[in-house]
Amino acid sequence: MTDLLTDTFGRRHTYLRISLTERCNLRCRYCMPAGGVPLRPREEILTFEEIERLARLFVRAGVEKIRLTGGEPLVRTGMEALVEALGALPGLRTLALTTNGLLLPKKLPRLHAAGVNLLNISLDTLRPERFDHITRRQGLALVLHAIDLAIAYGYDPVKVNCVVMRGFNDDELADFVALTETKPIEVRFIEYMPFAGNGWQDARFMPYRDMLARLGERFPVLERLDDGPNATAKTYRVPGFRGRIGFITSMSEHFCDGCNRLRLTADGNLKVCLFGRAEVSLRDALRAGATDDELGAIIRAAVRRKKAAHAGMHTLAKAENRPMILIGG
């Protein structure tokens, strides 16, 4: 299984993102249609036992980091028990969670004890009325409380994911950076990406170079930091600030050549590229009685079909793909 996760371009995949559910307690405009999305029947979603078996297989093959996503992963009943099982996997170095934060205060004590050692909390605005508009729900105060609680539990940094849209929330960039002055936060500004049903418009797209220019009006000096070979973010710090900022430049300056990520959807499909249509069902193979070696062969074949890079923003805007909510953030 030594070459199970290496593609034909020499990229070794050590990072697996697992979606626990297609359900979410928010309705963010850039993520899903206003009416939500058709949800699969419960029996089509991976069980915790199936997730644990696949995770164990991936870790044995070389995955060192697992991130739990959704939908909103915290809405899945009993997910804490799964986290405890994953946290005990030998060889797993990082167990991460991406959440909108609404349910985090109630669940964080057990998640922290189970081994979740990296937190990303999604937040696209610091203004209550705008939060209500973007998410079609209320709850900004709860999210801000979740961030402070994560800091109190020792997460450093707490990563705050902010999808930036021109004319929508780009006037808050400097306000987000100001959060990093005294708090151990890494604000990650994410370029708006086209997905089915999210109303993507070219006019709303704001490349990171434009974000940098906007920030330069208030913070004329931004210190560039070193990023790892598989980093998705270009990171900076305002000199003297405790935290930092990052830019996820998936559209304007992709980082496909260093991609080490695979995705497992809630219904058990393996996606080797966030933006690719190609998927293969590990769930069906599992339920047909596949051995670990047979599952490994399916995974190896999928990884070796991974392309060098995604097709580009304007092509992706016209291509068919799942809505982001059904892929896993």
The pLDDT tens digits of the residues spanning 30-81 come to 777 667 777 889 999 999 999 999 999 999 999 999 999 999 999 999 999 9
Residue 171, Cα to own-chain centre: how many angstroms? 24
* Domain interval for residue 321: 15-327
pLDDT single digits (tens) 276-324: 778 999 999 999 999 999 999 999 999 999 998 765 544 544 555 555 5
Q: Which of 172, 155, 153 is nearest to 163 (CA)?
A: 172
Model pTM?
0.92
Mean pLDDT of 72-97: 98
C-beta neighbour count of 239 within 10 angstroms: 8
Query: Per the domain annotation, does 3 fall within a domain?
Result: no
Which residues lie below 8 Å from residue 203, measured CB to CB, with a gap of 6+? 166, 167
**Strand pairing category for 280-281 and 269-271:** antiparallel
Query: What pLDDT is stored for residue 316 in this prediction?
Result: 44
Query: Per the domain annotation, does 4 fall within a domain?
Result: no
Phi, psi for 118 (deg, rounded to 5) = -150, 130
Query: What pLDDT is stored for residue 230 in this prediction?
Result: 85
Q: Do the Cβ atoms of 183 and 237 come closer than 8 Å? A: no
Q: Does residue 141 sit in helix, strand or coil?
A: helix
pLDDT single digits (tens) 21-36: 999 998 887 777 667 7
Q: How far apart are CA 303 and CA 297, in angstroms?
A: 10
Q: DSSP E strands: which ranges in 55-170? A: 65-69, 94-99, 118-122, 158-164
Burial class (CB in 10 A: 0-12, 13-18, 19+), 243: buried
Which comes out higher in pLDDT, residue 12 or 198?
Answer: 12
Query: What pLDDT is stored for residue 229 in this prediction?
Result: 85
Q: The tokens 């940098």 sit on which residue? A: 212
Hey, CA dihedral for 105, 111, 112, 118, is it positive or negative?
negative
Query: Per the domain annotation, does 225 fall within a domain?
Result: yes
Mean pLDDT, rounded, of the chain: 91
pLDDT single digits (tens) 214-255: 999 999 999 999 998 888 899 999 999 999 999 999 888 877
Q: How far apart are CA 210 and CA 243, in angstroms?
A: 21
Query: Per the domain annotation, does 6 fall within a domain?
Result: no
Element (H, E) at 264: strand 261-264
Residue 255, Cα to own-chain centre: how many angstroms? 15
How many domains are there within the chain? 1
The domain that contains 238 carries what CATH number? 3.20.20.70
Query: Per the domain annotation, does 8 fall within a domain?
Result: no
Query: Per the domain annotation, does 259 fall within a domain?
Result: yes
